[in-house]
Amino acid sequence: MSVDDEKERLNSLSNCVIGAALRVHNELGPGMLESAYEACLAHELLDQGLSVERQKPVPVIYRGCRLVCGYRIDLLVEDVLIVEVKAIERLEKVHSAQLRSHLRFSERKLGLLINFNVKSLRDGLKRIVNGFPE
């Protein structure tokens, strides 16, 4: 697959995930637990026929050793897109850094950070790219 085809596939997939997240947010609104949003978003994506893995372990590579130390991806969609679900007052730089680490250690190219605890979901979305040329 060419880089352009891969970008197009990831963009299309991220649009599907964002649409599903909007449906979940419209239905539930802010104020729920992260686990509820994660489960509902996974349900929405599965309803669309997408493959979704929940709480997928991410090993850390340290000095050439693969260490399993508790890091988990909230949702892995179609084995290529990482979705980190939050239900917090506001996204901080550390949340972006955590997603970047997940992308790097899992060797994935695109992640979405979605904070459902906002009035408008648009204010809770952050897209993070790893390793694509500009």
Instruction: Please report whether residue 36 resides in a domain.
Output: yes
The model carries a pTM of 0.92
Radius of gyration of the chain (CA): 15
Looking at residue 110, its amino acid is: L
Rounded to whole angstroms, the Cα distance separating 59 from 69 reads 7
Question: Does residue 101 lie in a domain region?
Answer: yes
pLDDT at 133: 58
> For residue 100, how far is the Cα from the chain centroid?
11
Report how far residue 74's alpha carbon sits from residue 55's, in angstroms, rounded to the nearest whole number: 5
Is residue 112 in a domain? yes
pLDDT at 132: 67
Query: CB–CB of 66/118 below 8 Å?
Result: no
pLDDT of the residue at 95: 96
pLDDT at residue 71 in the model = 86
Tokens found for residue 6 = 């891969």
Q: What is the mean pLDDT of the chain?
A: 94
Which whole number is the average pLDDT over 40-66?
A: 94
* Residue 61 host element (H or E): strand 60-62
pLDDT tens-place string over residues 61-100: 889 998 888 789 999 999 999 999 999 999 999 999 999 9
Q: In DSSP terms, which residues pair with 76 in a beta bridge? A: 53, 82
The answer to the question of residue 71 being in a domain is: yes
Percentage of residues in the chain with pLDDT exceeding 90?
81
- Enclosing H/E stretch for 28: helix 3-28
Which secondary-structure segment (H or E) carries 37? Answer: helix 34-47
Give me the number of domains the chain comprises: 1
Instruction: Convert the pLDDT of each residue in 106-123 to its tens digit.
Output: 999 999 999 999 999 999
Q: What are phi and psi of 131, to 5 degrees?
A: 85, 10
Strands 110-115 and 81-86: parallel
Output the pLDDT for position 120.
Answer: 95
* 134: in domain: no
- Structural domain of residue 23, as residue ranges? 3-129
